[in-house]
C-alpha cells in the first residue's frame, strides 16, 4: 500500500499521542479509576505497532483484513468506554440509579433505531459489497456512539447527577469526536469509493486531525487534578444522615399506600 | 499443472467471480459494470467508525487474500 | 431532482444539528446548576401554602410519616384536595420545587462527596415527587384528573410534605437564623 508523507506523519503522530496519553494515565494513576479507557488507549498503541509490522512484512490483503479485524475490536472497546462512563455517572451508590433504568432502555433502543434508519438511507457508491458493508457499518457505529454520549449529558442533567471532572472530559472528547465522525462518514458515503478519491483522502485526514485534537485534549485534562472537594461540616453530616433515614422510611410507607 | 493445483485454482476463480458479482448486487444501483484499476498514489480512505490515525485500506484485494491462504495451506 | 443521497445528507444534517442542540441545552443547564450556592437554590423555591399541603398529606399519613389506618383517614375528596393544592398553579409550584430539591441534592453531591448517600436519597425522593406531579399535570391536561388524582395527588403532597418537613428539621438543628427564610420559602 503506497503511503504519502502526510499518511506517515499522521500515523507517527497518532502513536506518539497515544504513548503520551498512556504515560499520563499511568503516572497520574488514572488507570485505577478508568481501567477500560486505559485498555482502549493501550489497544490503540498495540494496533498501530501490529499494523506497522503487517505493512512492512505483509501485503495489501493482509493489511486490509488485519486492519478491519482490529477495527471491530476498537469498536467494542469504544462501547466498553461508554459503559464505563455511564457506570461512573449513574451508579453513585454502586447500583444503577433506579429512577433511570427505564430511560437507559429507551435511550439504547432509540439510538439503535435512529442509527439503523440513517444507515438504511445511506447509498454509498462502491465496487464491492465489502466496501458498502464497511462504509455503512462505520456510519452506524459513529451515529450510535454520538447518540449515547449526548444521551448521557441529557439524562445526567435531568436526573440531577453531577459528572466527576475526568469522566466529563473523557466523555466530551469521545462525544465531540463521534459527532464529527458522523459528518465525515456521511461525506464518505455521499462521495463513494469510485470517484473523487481526493475528497476521500481529505475527509479521512480531517477525521485523523479531529482524533489527534481529542487525544491532546485528554492529555491536558487528565494530567490535571480534579476539582478539590470540601469536607462536610459535622453538624450537617449528622443531620443529613438523619434526613436520609427518615425520608427513606417515609417514602416506603407512602409507596405502600399506593399498593394497598 | 498438477492434479491438486487444478481444483485449487478452480476454487479461486469461482470465489473471485462470486465476490465481484455479489458486490454488484449489494452495491448501489449506479455502480459501473466495469471498474478501472486502482492506481492511486495516495491512500484514499474507506471511512470507518474507528479511532486512531492508522492508514485506512480501501481495496480488499480478495485474490491476494485467497492466494495468501492457499500459500499458507 | 432530489435523490436518495440528498435525502440522506439532509437527514444527517438534521440528526447532527439536533444532537448539538440537545447537548448545548443540557450542558448550559448543568453549568447553571453548578454555579448555584445553597442560598440561591433556596431562593428559587416557590411559595406554597404549607398548611394546605399539610392538610392534604395528613389525610393519609400522620406527623411521624406513618400511614394512617384510623377511621378518620382518607376522607378528603379529589375536588377538595385539588382546591387545597391550589389547582394547576399549586401543582406547578410543587413541580418547580421538586426540581429545586433535585438541584439541592446535586449541590450536596458535588461539593460534599461524603454526603453522597444522603444526597442520592434526597435526589431519588425529589425525582419521585417530580414524576408523580408530572403525571398529575398530564392528567389535568387530558381531562382525566378525576381518575388520576386519587393515585398521584395525595402521594405527591405527602412525599413533598415529609421531605420539606425533614429539611426544616435539618435547618432547625443546624442553622436557626435561616430557618425562618426556609419556612417562608417552603
Q: Shortest CB distance from A67 goes to which of B26, B31, B54?
A: B54
Q: Is residue A11 part of a domain?
A: yes
Residue A223 pLDDT level (bands cut at 50, 70, 90): very high
Distance CA C167, CA C176 (A): 12
pLDDT in tens, B11-62: 445 444 444 433 333 323 222 233 333 333 333 333 346 789 998 887 677 7
Task: Please check whether residues C115 and C176 belong to one and the same domain.
Answer: yes
Tell me the nearest-neighbour CA distance from A229 into chain C, angstroms: 6
Q: Does C104 share its domain with C86?
A: yes
Q: Which burial class, exposed, middle or buried, applies to B26 when counting CB atoms under 10 A from its CB (0-12, 13-18, 19+)?
A: middle
Question: What is the reported pLDDT for B32?
Answer: 29
Same domain, C149 and C169: yes
Residues 6+ apart with CB under 8 A from A196: none
Interchain CB contact of B44 with A (< 8 Å): yes
Examine residue A140 and state whether it is found in any structural domain, yes or no: yes
Query: Is the residue at A256 inside a domain?
Result: no
Q: Which of B18, B49, B59, B68 to mutate to test the interface with A (most CBs of A within 10 A)?
A: B49
Of the listed ranges A24-38, A65-79, C104-118, the one predicted with least confidence: C104-118
Q: Domain check: are C113 and C59 in the same one? A: yes
**DSSP sequence for chain A:** ----HHHHHHHHHHHHHHHHHHHHHHHTTGGGT-HHHHHHHHHHHHHHHHHHHHHHHS-HHHHHHHHHHHHHHHHHHHHHHHHHHHHHHH-TTSS--TTSHHHHHHHHHHHHHHHHHHHHH-----SSHHHHHHHHHHHHHHHHHHHHHHHHHHHHHHHT-PPPHHHHHHHHHHHHHHHHHHHHHHHHHHHTTTS-HHHHHHHHHHHHHHHHHHHHHHHHHHHSPPPPPPPPPHHHHHHHHHHHHHHHHHHHHHHHHHH-
Nearest residue of A to residue C74, measured between CA atoms = A257
**Residue A36 domain flag:** yes
ipTM over 0.95: no
What domain count does chain A have? 1
Q: Structural domain of residue A65, as residue ranges?
A: 5-225
Is A254 inside any structural domain?
no
| Residue C125 half-sphere exposure toward CB, CA atoms < 13 A | 32
Same domain for C1 and C82, yes or no, is no
- Structural domain includes residue A35: yes
Q: CB neighbours (10 Å) of residue B6? A: 10
The residue-averaged pLDDT of A192-215 equals: 84
- Residue A246 near chain C (CB below 8 Å): yes
Could you tell me if C28 and C85 lie in one domain?
no
Same domain, C63 and C112: yes
Residues of C in contact with A258 (CB under 8 A): 151, 155
- Tell me if A250 is assigned to some domain: no
Please tell me whether residues C90 and C132 are part of one structural domain: yes
DSSP characters over A205-228: HHHHHHHHHHHHHHHHHHHSPPPP
Domain carrying residue C161: 44-185
Could A246 and C166 be called an inter-chain contact, meaning their C-beta atoms sit closer than 8 Å? yes
Q: How many domains is chain C built from?
A: 2
| C-alpha triplet A41, A47, A49: angle, nearest 5° | 110
Amino acid at each position: 500500500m503506497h503511503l504519502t508523507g502526510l499518511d506517515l506523519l499522521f500515523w507517527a503522530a497518532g502513536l506518539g499521542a497515544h504513548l503520551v496519553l498512556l504515560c499520563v494515565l499511568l503516572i497520574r494513576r488514572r488507570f485505577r479509576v478508568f481501567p477500560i479507557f486505559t485498555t482502549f488507549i493501550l489497544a490503540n498503541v498495540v494496533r498501530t505497532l501490529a499494523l506497522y509490522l503487517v505493512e512492512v512484512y505483509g501485503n495489501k490483503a493482509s493489511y486490509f483484513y488485519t486492519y478491519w479485524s482490529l477495527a471491530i475490536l476498537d469498536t467494542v472497546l469504544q462501547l466498553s468506554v461508554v459503559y464505563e462512563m455511564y457506570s461512573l455517572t449513574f451508579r453513585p451508590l454502586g447500583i444503577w440509579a433506579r429512577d433511570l433504568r427505564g430511560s437507559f432502555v429507551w435511550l439504547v433502543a432509540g439510538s439503535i433505531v435512529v442509527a439503523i434508519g440513517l444507515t438504511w438511507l445511506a447509498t454509498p457508491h462502491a465496487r464491492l459489497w465489502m466496501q458498502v458493508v464497511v462504509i455503512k457499518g462505520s456510519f452506524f457505529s459513529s451515529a450510535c456512539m454520538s447518540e449515547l454520549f449526548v444521551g448521557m449529558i441529557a439524562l445526567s442533567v435531568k436526573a440531577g447527577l453531577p459528572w466527576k471532572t475526568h469522566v466529563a472530559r473523557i466523555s466530551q472528547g469521545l462525544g465531540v469526536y463521534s459527532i464529527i465522525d458522523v459528518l465525515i462518514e456521511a461525506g464518505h458515503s455521499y462521495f463513494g469509493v469510485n470517484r473523487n478519491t481526493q475528497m476521500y483522502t481529505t475527509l479521512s485526514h480531517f477525521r485523523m486531525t479531529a482524533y489527534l485534537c481529542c487525544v491532546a485534549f485528554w492529555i491536558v485534562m487528565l494530567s490535571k487534578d480534579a476539582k478539590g472537594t470540601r469536607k462536610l461540616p459535622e453538624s450537617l453530616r449528622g443531620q443529613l444522615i438523619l434526613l436520609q433515614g427518615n425520608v427513606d422510611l417515609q417514602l416506603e410507607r407512602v409507596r405502600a399506600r399506593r399498593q394497598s | 499443472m498438477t492434479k491438486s493445483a487444478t481444483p485449487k485454482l478452480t476454487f479461486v476463480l469461482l470465489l473471485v467471480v462470486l465476490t465481484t458479482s455479489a458486490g454488484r448486487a449489494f452495491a448501489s444501483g449506479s455502480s459501473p459494470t466495469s471498474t478501472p484499476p486502482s492506481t492511486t498514489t495516495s491512500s484514499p480512505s474507506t471511512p470507518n467508525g474507528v479511532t486512531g490515525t492508522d492508514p485506512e485500506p480501501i481495496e480488499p484485494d480478495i485474490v491476494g487474500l485467497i492466494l495468501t491462504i492457499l500459500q499458507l495451506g | 431532482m432530489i435523490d436518495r443521497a440528498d435525502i440522506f445528507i439532509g437527514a444527517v444534517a438534521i440528526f447532527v444539528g439536533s444532537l448539538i442542540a440537545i447537548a448545548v441545552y443540557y450542558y448550559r443547564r448543568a453549568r447553571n446548576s453548578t454555579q448555584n450556592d445553597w442560598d440561591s437554590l433556596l431562593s428559587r423555591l416557590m411559595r406554597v401554602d404549607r398548611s394546605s399541603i399539610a392538610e392534604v398529606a395528613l389525610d393519609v399519613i400522620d406527623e411521624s410519616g406513618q400511614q394512617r389506618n384510623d377511621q378518620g383517614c382518607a376522607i378528603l375528596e379529589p375536588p377538595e384536595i385539588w382546591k387545597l393544592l391550589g389547582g394547576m398553579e399549586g401543582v406547578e409550584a410543587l413541580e418547580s420545587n421538586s426540581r429545586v430539591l433535585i438541584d439541592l441534592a446535586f449541590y450536596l453531591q458535588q461539593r460534599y462527596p461524603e454526603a453522597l448517600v444522603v444526597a442520592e436519597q434526597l435526589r431519588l425522593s425529589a425525582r419521585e415527587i417530580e414524576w408523580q406531579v408530572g403525571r398529575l399535570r398530564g392528567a389535568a391536561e387530558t381531562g382525566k384528573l378525576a381518575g388520576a388524582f386519587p393515585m398521584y395527588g395525595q402521594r405527591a403532597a405527602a412525599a413533598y410534605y415529609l421531605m420539606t418537613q425533614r429539611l426544616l428539621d435539618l435547618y432547625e438543628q443546624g442553622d436557626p437564623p435561616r430557618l425562618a427564610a426556609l419556612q417562608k420559602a417552603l
